[in-house]
A and B are shown apart, each in its own frame.
Chain A
Amino acid sequence: MRDRESHLVAGGRRWLVVAVAAGLIAFILGLLFRPVQAWSAFLVSSFFFLTVALGGLVFLAIMYVSNAGWHTVFKRVPEALAACLPASAFSMLAILAGARWLYPWTHADAVLHDELLSAKAPYLNTGFFAARMVGVLALWVFFALMTRRYSLRQDAHADIKYTRRNVVLSAIFLALFPFSFSMASIDWLMSLDPHWASTIVGLYQIAGLLSTAVAAISIVGILLRRRGALPDLTETHLHDLGKLLFGFSTMWAYLWFSQYLLIWYTNLPEETTHYLVRLQGGASFLFYLNVVLNWALPFVVLLRRPAKRSEGTLLWTSTVVLVGRWLDIHLQVVPAVAPDRLQGPMGIGFLDVALLLGFGAAFLLMTDRALGKAPLLAEGDPYLVEALHH
């Protein structure tokens, strides 16, 4: 496989390397002086970029099982995102080192003095937690590597059998994904506050992952198109991506609202704590901002047909959604780990931003590298002809 010219980062490579280094330094300094803040920022950004990578794989899998053709022209983009999955998996594994700063149930004395935590100990204990984490990450990485492998082989042989194999792989993956990802969301996010439980959390995170995936694919696709690397990505493809972003962001809002309404209506103290801590203090505006960024704004903007077909509008709307996605995860993690942090005026600290930028830069570099490893147009794909005439 020949290395190709980099299209995504082009001249910005140096700045991205600087951002990665800065993020790393900030994290190390954070570990020394403010470990709780450093680890929560690490979890937020790590999980966020994991959903970007995993989202790419889920998007591809859905396209394979539904025999879709329109996406073939940019299918290397979600593939490149999914190629970052192994690295994202390693960054999630690093959470195990910081678990004692994040998860109250890792402290033996806390569990001993808390009836509820003792009851949950068979599930919420470090060993089992680590085993589950390794298990689901390995599962996803396996499917990411296999799908990518067959897709690249098809470039050389243009054999239809690789499409068929990927359909089977994707079907198995899609059967396992909702269960594994729900479990991961419960483990990694919901158990930060082990006294609180909600059944919708898994589906809620899946909806978030889907809108993350479409937003990320749109951004990378549009950047490539702007640099002239993906001329076949037409307005019609953007239109469909815009529709999907509109749909998934609305689905996210639907699940967000379902949980909020049911907890507000029933008003049970053990459930309302989740919202109380997020709705009090100076940074409570973040709670509303979350809905604006993830849903209200993309909904209003993308409602019109010309907006979905416009490169510029779709690019910045996708960016807003990605920022919203990060904020949503931030709001899952930070108030649970350190409730007092939302009392301040901002609710987002320097470390949070530094790690987001560091992770983001590293992710961009990896995506760019994956894009360079294969032709940007999957010429052996039997559905390419449809995508070129979409």
Chain B
Amino acid sequence: MSRVRLSALREPLVTAERSLAQVTDEVCAPIERRPNTRWWLALLGAASALCFGLVCYIRTLSTGLGVWGLNNTVGWGVDITNFVFWIGIGHAGTLISAILFLFRQQWRTSVNRAAEAMTIFAVTCAGLDVIVHMGRPWLAFWTLPYPNTRGSLWVNFRSPLIWDVFAVSTYFTISLVFWYVGLLPDLATVRDRAKGRIRKLVFSLLSLGWNGSHRTWSRYETVYLLLAGLATPLVLSVHSIVSMDFATSLLPGWHTTIFPPYFVAGAVFSGFAMVLTLMLIVRAVLGWQHLITTRHLENMAKIMIVTGGIMALAYATELFTAWYSGNAYELFTFRNRMSGPYAWAYWTMVGCNVLAPQLLWFKKLRTSPIVLFPLSLVINVGMWLERFVIIVTSLHRDFVPSNWTMYWPTWVELGITIGWFGLFFTLFLLFTRALPMVSIAEVKSVLDYGREPRREPASVPWPAPIAPEFVAGSQEGAV
């Protein structure tokens, strides 16, 4: 890294002077000491939420789906809202680890590990949610296509719901493999530092005999690049297919061609909000402000401006086309969203997803953790509501007015929703104790990024960085 010539405008990625060993010590510290009371309290909270969710699910199982607020008109409610929400959260990790890797964005090194872990936990929630929302979850395996003895009963390959099964399971598998491969060098580091025998054994097995040789590194880099290439289309495909659960229907508010890119943008938007929520807590609790710097926060905020902008464009286009198409039903759906009984949800969504992110235009605000933290929560609320608005408001007043009805989630559904957050945070808390939260090997590679110019004599004025031999025309001296 240090041999790449950088513009004088580049700033260091790791803002404190650290040696290689210090980085290892710092990142390994949380997993090598005993957890403190704060962590136990957090785990207690998360696990309680998870248990409450479990209780609610057991009630659903023992009594039937009737304990939910769904009815004949509104057949999808909070269940599918949760599914789409968690799948969306699961998008930032792969974007950071795969797409930003392909774009050679070196700032990703401090945040990619935790973001990928978050992705996997979120997709776990989404995958389980699909099973939870089934009337007969013990028959969940019927969604898999395989030769069977049920009168050769095959899945309907033309159904987007089946595409979902393929898309989500592929995404989960690739994300997990990608995460694991990226972990290998760090697992070996933890192994080499391990004191206890069991710990040593576990991490020896996990690190697959990593020996840090040039050959190992060379193969690792190749595999990582290939997996990044494979994971990139998945970032787009998963949420595109989720959007098709809706857009392939005839329903106004669901059937619109912008849905695939709009869902993908929304997923990245909400995913980054969740990464920010988690990273802001992690850096504050562990004092890692020099690893996860304000610039990391700022860059993530910028990505949120971009994806939030695409969301605003999609909202505006949908609204305009509802009028422009001249379709009375389409127009009614949007009017109903804006002034019907669920208008509160629509306007909260607009406030959270379109208006609130505009604060990020100001550098002062987007570099301030005190602003970013509540904002990331607001965006998550907005994105959850967005899915609720799309699903429920399109359904509850359909083509036949005698079908019109309202949908209110029962305490069981809300309990399961809380349970998902419990599961997500429980898994994340366990992760913070078990594995290095920051990619040690990758951060080491950017330790002196943007530092060297500072070591040169301070008297060099700008624009000196272009040494005479590098100016065009006399290329002989150039490296």
Binding site for B on A (CB under 8 A): 65, 67, 69, 115-116, 119-120, 123, 158, 160, 163, 171, 175, 178-179, 182, 186, 197-200, 202-203, 231-232, 243, 250, 254-255, 258-259, 261-263, 265-266, 268, 270, 377, 379-380, 382-386, 388-389
Contact A120 B324 (CB under 8 A): yes
CA distance A158 to B462 in the complex (A): 9
- Binding stretch for chain A, among B56-64, B123-131, B206-214, B254-262: B254-262
| B358 nearest in chain A by CB position | A175
Residue of chain B at shortest CB distance from A389 = B5
Bound CA span A171–B363, Å: 13
Whether B317 sits at the interface, judged by CB under 8 Å, is yes
Decide if A258 touches B260 in the complex (CB within 8 Å): yes
Nearest CB of B to A139, in Å: 16
Q: With A258-B240, A389-B4 in contact, do A160 and B317 touch (Cβ < 8 Å)?
A: no
Q: Smallest CB–CB gap between B417 and chain A, Å?
A: 29
Knowing A123-B324, A262-B248, A385-B466 touch, does A179 contact B313 (C-beta < 8 A)? yes
- Asked whether A259 and B257 contact (CB < 8 A) given A160-B9, A266-B250, the answer is yes
B1-33 vs A, CB cutoff 8 Å, 1 = contact: the mask equals: 000111111000000000000000000000000
Given A175-B309, A382-B463, are A203 and B258 also a contact pair (CB < 8 Å)? Answer: yes
Asked if A388 and B259 make an inter-chain contact with CB atoms under 8 angstroms apart, the answer reads no
Partner-contacting stretch, out of B34-42, B81-89, B470-478: B470-478
> Is the beta-carbon distance between B261 and A255 smaller than 8 angstroms?
yes
Nearest Cβ on chain B to A199's Cβ, whole angstroms: 4
The CA-CA distance from A243 to B324 in the complex, in Å, is: 37
Check A67 against B9 for contact (C-beta < 8 Å).
yes
Q: Are B255 and A385 in contact (CB under 8 A)?
A: no
Contacts of A67 in B (CB 8 A): 9
Q: A199-B321, A265-B248 are in contact. Are A379 and B472 (CB under 8 A)?
A: yes
> Which residue from A65, A160, A182, A385 sits with its C-beta under 8 Å from B313?
A182
Q: Smallest CB–CB gap between B381 and chain A, Å?
A: 24
Residues on B with beta carbons closer than 8 Å to the beta carbon of A65: 302
B32 to chain A, nearest CB (A): 37
15 A-B residue pairs with Cβ-Cβ distance under 8 Å, sorted by A, are A119-B326, A182-B313, A197-B324, A197-B325, A199-B257, A203-B261, A243-B102, A258-B240, A258-B259, A262-B248, A379-B466, A380-B463, A382-B462, A382-B463, A385-B6
> A265 CA to B310 CA in the complex, in Å?
25
A80 CA to B259 CA, complexed, in Å: 36
Point out the residue from B5, B314, B321 that lies within 8 Å of A386, measured CB to CB.
Answer: B5
A178, B309: Cβ atoms under 8 Å?
A: yes
Inter-chain CA distance A182–B472, complex, in Å, is: 40
B249 with A202: CB separation less than 8 A: no
Q: Does B316 belong to the interface (CB within 8 Å)?
A: yes
B471:A379 contact, CB within 8 angstroms: yes
Q: Please state if B317 and A182 are interface contacts (CB–CB under 8 Å).
A: yes
Q: In the complex, what distance in Å separates the CA atom of A21 from the CA atom of B385?
A: 59
Q: Specify the main secondary structure of chain A where it touches its partner.
A: helix
CB atoms of B313 and A384 under 8 A apart: no
Cβ < 8 Å to A, chain B residues 329-363? 361
CB < 8 Å neighbour of A266 from B240, B248, B327, B466: B248
Is B479's CB within 8 Å of the partner chain A?
yes
> Does B465 touch A at the CB level, under 8 Å?
yes
Which residues, 242 to 292 on B, are CB-close (under 8 Å) to A?
244, 247-250, 255-261
B236 within 8 A of A: yes
In the complex, what's the smallest C-beta–C-beta distance from A178 to chain B, in angstroms? 5
**CA distance in complex: A263, B321 (Å):** 15
A382:B8 contact, CB within 8 angstroms: yes
Contact between chains at B475 and A231 (CB < 8 Å): yes
Q: B261 to A389, Cβ gap below 8 A?
A: no
**Chain A residues whose CB sits within 8 angstroms of the CB of B324 once the complex forms:** 120, 123, 186, 197
Q: How far in angstroms is the closest Cβ of chain B from A16?
A: 27
CB neighbours (8 Å) of B478 from chain A are 388-389
- Name the residue on B nearest A263 (C-beta): B257
20 new A-B contacts, CB < 8 A, other than A265-B248, A266-B248, are A67-B9, A123-B324, A171-B361, A186-B320, A198-B321, A199-B317, A200-B258, A203-B258, A231-B475, A232-B472, A254-B260, A258-B259, A258-B261, A266-B250, A377-B472, A382-B462, A386-B4, A389-B5, A389-B470, A389-B478
A120:B313 contact, CB within 8 angstroms: no
Q: How many residues of B contact A (CB 8 A)?
A: 47
Answer whether residue B318 sits at the interface, using C-beta atoms and an 8 A cutoff: yes
* In contact, A385 and B7 (Cβ under 8 angstroms): yes
| Assembled-state Cα–Cα distance A202/B260 (Å) | 14
Q: Is the CB of A262 within 8 A of B472?
A: no
Contact with A along B142-159 (1 / 0, CB 8 A): 000000000000000000
Inter-subunit contact B310/A69 (CB<8 Å): no
Residues in A neighbouring B256, C-beta threshold 8 A:
199, 262
**A20 CB to nearest B CB, Å:** 32
A186 to B318: give the CA distance in the assembly, Å: 13
Please state if B248 and A200 are interface contacts (CB–CB under 8 Å): no
Contact, CB under 8 Å: B313 / A178: yes
With A69-B7, A182-B317, A258-B261 known as contacts, the answer to whether A388 contacts B249 (CB < 8 A) is no
- Measured between alpha carbons, how far is A120 from B320 in the docked complex, in Å? 11
B130 to chain A, nearest CB (A): 21
Instruction: Choose from A179, A182, A197, A386 the contact partner of B7 (Cβ within 8 Å).
Output: A386
Contacts of B102 in A (CB 8 A): 243
> What distance in Å separates the Cβ of B254 from its nearest Cβ neighbour in chain A?
10
Which residues on A sit within 8 Å (CB–CB) of B472? 231-232, 377, 379
Contact B250 A262 (CB under 8 A): no
Q: How far is the CA of A384 from the CA of B310 in the complex (A)?
A: 31
Partner of B317, one of A202, A259, A379, A386: A202
Name the contact of B479 in the complex, choosing from A119, A258, A389 (C-beta under 8 A): A389
The one of A163, A262, A385, A389 that contacts B257, using a Cβ cutoff of 8 Å: A262
| Bound Cα distance A258, B317 (Å) | 16
A120-B326 in contact (CB<8A): yes
In the complex, which residues of chain A have a beta carbon less than 8 angstroms from the beta carbon of B470?
Answer: 385, 388-389
List the 8 closest pairs (A to B, CB-CB), nearest first: A199-B258, A200-B257, A258-B260, A197-B325, A158-B463, A389-B5, A377-B472, A265-B248
Q: How far is the CA of A302 from the CA of B236 in the complex (A)?
A: 20
Chain B residues with Cβ below 8 Å from A389 are 4-5, 470, 478-479
Knowing A120-B326, A385-B465, the reply to whether A258 touches B257 (Cβ < 8 A) is yes
Chain A residues near B250: list those with CB within 8 A: 266, 268
Q: Measured between alpha carbons, how far is A160 from B464 in the docked complex, in Å? A: 12
Contacts A258-B240, A382-B463 given: A178-B310 contact, CB under 8 Å? yes
A241 CB, nearest partner CB in chain B, Å: 14
B450 to chain A, nearest CB (A): 11
Return the CB mask of B289-324 against A: 1 if under 8 Å, else 0. Answer: 000000000000010000001100110111011001
